[in-house]
């Protein structure tokens, strides 16, 4: 009997423990439960492994990911990058930029009961606490405080639902068609989603704000709650540990799994790497490092405008005398190309010599011709795929001959 009662108590204790653990695991964001430990040398080992890795052998665990070049907005690498997925606390990238653009960061606010009772990862706020919006932003982005997210939403819009309206309006303004927000923290919801591609575009926009960039690039920071200091450490495991990393945000929920948005700059090349849906923290770290190292090892910037200018001038020298302007008062045509859709783009180092050009122009033209009339197009191709293009324009006007033109022409012939 004693054995049975004891056994029953043990089973009851285990059941309660599992229930409580499961509850926190489902809703805990950025808390590293049951996660693989990342060894001290994993950064160096993965970096060295990717030195000569090919795109086909990246072997990524993440469900969707992208590497976006910030200068050209070109997709360097993508895997299911336009699929709608949950994004956990990477949501807070939008939360932060909304607050920064609409709030007074020096303002001190009082924490509501709703904000203080928000679950998941927390800054540790209590009802009635006094804290500035600026300090809340650090609590939002460094330790991923869901309580800070709700407090910020309430301070800017009055409620979480009204703040979500601001978030969705901003998404629409940025042209994010496959993104929708319901909360400022990103806990799982069927109508709260984005894509790796659109999250990268949002991050690119946010990083243009110096306040945002400063916050997400901070490894450690001390805030004040009710006048008492509290030390924060950034949850981004790559910040300060991998060359060139300068932000931006981690994320985790059961629905989204492990997520990481990273910004990295080396030399002139500046990229955003997004991995969503990794099974463990170790996998999200590995995938991020693989993609970053693969990009910098294999890609280089090419000044396409310089190459186009050289090609166009050579083509013009060979073809300028071939233009015929039917019934034009002049046969002297001045042509040039318009602004390129892109001027500097990332290209695989092994494919730089595969760039080619195609000019499509009708050399037999009807007058009159007006300044900036389009008379053709110029395309830049990589492996026969168009990577950028521009129009070829007439830079001068050429009138059509009239009776007086013919008369002058007749007189000049006989005089």
Task: Return the active site residues.
Answer: 89, 92, 144
- DSSP states along 268-326: TEEEEEEEEEESSHHHHHHHHHHHHHHHHHHEEEEEHHHHHHHHHHHHHHHHGGG-EEE
Structure tokens that stand for 277 in this block: 């849906």
Parallel/antiparallel/unpaired status of strands 364-366 and 324-326: parallel
Give the number of C-alpha atoms closer than 13 A to the C-alpha of residue 191, restricted to the C-beta side: 5
> Sign of the CA dihedral 322, 325, 329, 334?
negative
Q: How far is CA 60 from CA 80, 285, 360, in A?
A: 12, 11, 42
> Sign of the CA dihedral 208, 212, 213, 216?
negative
Q: State the Rg of the chain over Cα.
A: 29
DSSP SS3 for 129:
coil
Q: How far apart are CA 39 and CA 45, in angstroms?
A: 10
Report the DSSP beta bridge partners of residue 398: 369
Report the DSSP beta bridge partners of residue 110: 130
Contact yes or no for 394/388 (Cβ under 8 A): no
Contact yes or no for 164/154 (Cβ under 8 A): no
Contact yes or no for 52/297 (Cβ under 8 A): yes
> Which helix or strand (DSSP H or E) is residue 188 part of?
none
Q: How far apart are CA 149 and CA 115, in angstroms?
A: 8
- By C-alpha distance, which of 274, 253, 257 is closest to 196? 274
Length in residues, the chain: 415
> Which helix or strand (DSSP H or E) is residue 199 part of?
helix 196-207
Residues 6+ apart with CB under 8 A from 4: none
Q: What are the backbone angles phi and psi of residue 157, rounded to the nearest 5°? A: -120, -10
């Amino acid at each position: 009997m004693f054995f049975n009662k004891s056994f029953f108590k043990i089973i009851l204790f285990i059941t309660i423990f599992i229930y409580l653990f499961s509850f926190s695991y489902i809703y805990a964001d950025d808390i590293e439960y049951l996660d693989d430990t990342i060894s001290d040398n994993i950064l160096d080992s993965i970096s060295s492994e990717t030195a000569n890795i090919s795109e086909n052998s990246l072997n990524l665990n993440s469900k969707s990911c992208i590497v976006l070049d910030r200068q050209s907005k070109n997709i360097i690498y993508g895997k299911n990058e336009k699929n709608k997925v949950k994004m956990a606390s990477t949501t807070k990238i939008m939360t932060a930029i909304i607050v920064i653009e609409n709030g007074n960061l020096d303002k001190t606010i009082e924490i509501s009961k709703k904000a203080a009772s928000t679950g998941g990862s927390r800054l540790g706020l209590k009802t009635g606490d006094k804290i500035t919006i600026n300090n809340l932003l650090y609590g939002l982005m460094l330790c991923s405080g869901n309580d800070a997210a709700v407090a910020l939403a309430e301070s800017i819009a009055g409620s979480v639902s009204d703040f979500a309206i601001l978030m969705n309006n901003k998404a629409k303004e940025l042209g994010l068609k496959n993104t929708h927000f319901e909360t400022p923290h990103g806990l799982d919801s069927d109508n709260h989603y984005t894509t790796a591609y659109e999250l990268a575009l949002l991050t690119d926009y946010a990083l243009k704000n110096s306040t945002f960039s400063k916050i997400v690039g901070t490894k450690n920071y001390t805030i004040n709650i009710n006048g008492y200091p509290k030390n924060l450490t950034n949850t981004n495991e790559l910040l300060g540990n991998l060359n060139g990393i300068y932000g931006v945000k981690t994320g985790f929920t059961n629905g989204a799994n492990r997520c990481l948005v990273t910004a990295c700059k080396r030399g002139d090349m500046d990229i955003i790497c997004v991995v969503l849906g990794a099974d463990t923290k170790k996998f999200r770290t590995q995938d991020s490092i693989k993609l970053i190292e693969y990009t910098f090892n294999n890609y280089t910037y090419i000044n396409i405008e310089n190459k186009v200018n050289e090609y166009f001038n050579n083509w013009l020298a060979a073809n300028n005398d071939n233009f015929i302007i039917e019934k034009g008062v002049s046969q002297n045509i001045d042509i040039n190309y318009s602004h390129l859709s892109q001027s500097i783009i990332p290209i695989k180092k092994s494919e730089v010599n595969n760039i080619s050009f195609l000019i499509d122009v009708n050399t037999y033209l009807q007058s009159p011709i007006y300044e900036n009339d389009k008379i053709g197009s110029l395309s830049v191709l990589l492996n026969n795929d168009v990577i950028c293009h521009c129009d070829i324009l007439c830079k001068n006007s050429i009138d059509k001959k009239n009776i007086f033109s013919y008369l002058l022409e007749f007189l000049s012939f006989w005089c």
